Amino acid sequence: MQLTKREYIAFELLKTKSITVNECYKLADEFISKSNVIIDDPTTEKGWIEQIWEWADKFQLTEDEVPRNKKDLLELDTLNIYRHEMWNPYSPVITYLPEVITELPSLNRIAVQYNWLVRLNENIGQLRNLEYLILTENFMTELPEEIAQLSKLKGLDIEDNKFSELPDFIGELINLTWLVVKSNKLKELPESIGQLINLKDLNIEYNVLAELPQSIGKMISLEKLELGENALINFPESIGALSNLKELIAYDNRLTTLPDSIGKLHNLEKLTLCNNQLVELPDSIGQLASLKELHLGNNKLAELPLTICNLKNLDYIYIDSYLLAKLPEAIKQFLNTVPHVISWNNS
């Protein structure tokens, strides 16, 4: 039988103290959190360090990726395994992470990109100091529920995997500042995503989302929202509550209208709505006092609201050429003051 460090310490405590098993585990956790002592479990045929080295040798990981001396391994703070075929055409891809990886005391960043990971071990939650988990281009379909225990996690990237949904417990990762779920097969987002009140950057591009949850308006720290290449028909009214939003990117969707609440995004600097089905813009768009870039090319707009002339900080606008030709004189005069006016001929 192979024991984890936590189990080994608890077992030793149980032999010397008249306490319950649960109390032993509690004391073991406290001991581990306050101690730099590394226990290579003597009860196993191979200690956890040897197991990591064996795994590293199996997948031909370099000394830079996984040090083969104990001192450097114990100080390893970043596990970075990049296997893009262009740069590492002959290196075997990673298909799993060893369970004993949770024994690495200094690990705060895992980046396993362009590999063949199918799942994460359930004990991933024991990496209590982990701040960044980057799993770009693997074959994962789900996250273990134990990932919600990563209370220090700041960044999570699962771009280009096989996810069809995000779990409800994603909302428990309240210290996330960026989340990348680009290029999956997501049809919807859980309402719990609104609990990510510290999130600043959310990238959900290249999925199949038809709508956003109302709870998205609770993500009060959000500065950049990337929604390109989905199937969105509209935005929820709650989007207007994102008072810190600076970039809203929603090209290549199926948007036909924008909610009036869009005008409440007073810090918005970039609005990208190219390649949609927009037939009109709300008058409230003129309230976007900080707007610098407005991308409207390849839509079905018959006119622009006169309030667009209130966008005094506008530096760049991209619109269809047919629309440019029939604008009222007041808007034409305003556009003459905009440094960069780009027209798109979609005929």
Contact predicate 66/96, CB 8 Å:
no
Q: How many CA atoms lie within 13 A of 225 on its CB side?
A: 23
Measured CA angle at 200 (ends 249, 157), to 5 deg: 85
- Token pair of 109, please? 């960043």
Buried b (16+ CB within 10 A) or exposed e, 22-44: eebbebbeebbeeeeeebebeeb
What's residue 172's pLDDT? 98
What's residue 75's pLDDT? 96
The model's pTM is 0.85
Which range, of 42-46, 54-58, 133-137, averages the lowest pLDDT?
42-46
- Token pair of 331, please? 């808007």
Per-residue pLDDT tens over the stretch 134-184: 999 999 999 999 999 999 999 999 999 999 999 999 999 999 999 999 999
Instruction: Give the C-alpha separation, 212 to 37, whole Å.
Output: 47
Instruction: Give the C-alpha separation, 64 to 78, whole Å.
Output: 10
Q: How many residues does the chain have?
A: 347
Which range, of 132-141, 187-196, 289-298, 324-333, averages the lowest pLDDT?
324-333
Which residues does 82 contact at the CB level (< 8 Å), separation at least 6? 88, 111, 113, 114
- Token pair of 20, please? 């319950």
Higher pLDDT, 92 or 330: 330
Helix, strand or coil for residue 142? coil
Across the chain, mean pLDDT equals 89
Rg (CA), the chain: 26
Chain-centroid distance, C-alpha 130? 15
- Closest listed residue to residue 143, CA positions, set 105, 176, 106: 176
Confidence label for 2 from pLDDT (cuts 50, 70 and 90): very low
What's residue 241's pLDDT? 98
pLDDT at 59 over 50: yes
Per-residue pLDDT tens over the stretch 17-40: 456 655 655 555 554 444 434 444
Higher pLDDT, 21 or 318: 318
Burial class of 127 by CB neighbour count within 10 A (0 to 12, 13 to 18, 19+): buried
Helix, strand or coil for residue 93? coil
Helix, strand or coil for residue 196? coil
Which residues does 141 contact at the CB level (< 8 Å), separation at least 6? 118, 119, 161, 162, 163, 164
Strands (E) in 29-170, as ranges, are 78-82, 109-113, 132-134, 155-157
Per-residue pLDDT tens over the stretch 185-239: 999 999 999 999 999 999 999 999 999 999 999 999 999 999 999 999 999 999 9
Mean pLDDT for 79-108 is 86
- Closest listed residue to residue 275, CA positions, set 331, 232, 309: 232
- Token pair of 87, please? 């740069």
Tell me 46's DSSP state.
Answer: S
Instruction: Give the C-alpha separation, 73 to 103, whole Å.
Output: 11
What's residue 345's pLDDT? 73
Mean pLDDT for 263-272 is 99
What's residue 325's pLDDT? 83
What's residue 14's pLDDT? 53
Higher pLDDT, 91 or 281: 281
Instruction: Give the C-alpha separation, 81 to 65, whole Å.
Output: 7
